[in-house]
Amino acid sequence: MTEPFELFLQHCVSIDLEVDPATASIFAFAAVRDDARPPILAKKRDLVAALERLKAEATEDVHLLGHNILRH
């Protein structure tokens, strides 16, 4: 028997954004899934590449979870 939320978690990406409150710009983030895939880690210098990887991970059946998404 599976845990009640296991199927849901298989379709989630959890994101932690680091946002500059003065400019409302993202300067770093991390994103993880509930599986063996490596996390997506980004700092300012590699932000664009990491956002592209996140975009590829965020398919139609993915739910984005996190805080700091709308307001820091």
Q: How far apart are CA 70 and CA 12, in angstroms?
A: 18
Q: Tokens standing for 46?
A: 């590699």
Kindly tell me if the per-residue pLDDT of 1 is higher than 60: no
The residues, ordered by sequence, that sit 6+ positions from 37 with a Cβ below 8 Å of its Cβ are 57
Quick count: other Cβ atoms within 10 Å of Cβ 29? 20
- The pLDDT assigned to 45 comes to 85
Q: Calculate ∠ Cα 13-66-8, nearest 5°.
A: 45
Q: What pLDDT, in 10s, does the model give residues 39-59?
A: 999 988 889 999 899 888 888
Question: What type of residue sits at position 28?
Answer: A
Contact by Cβ (8 Å): 44, 61: no
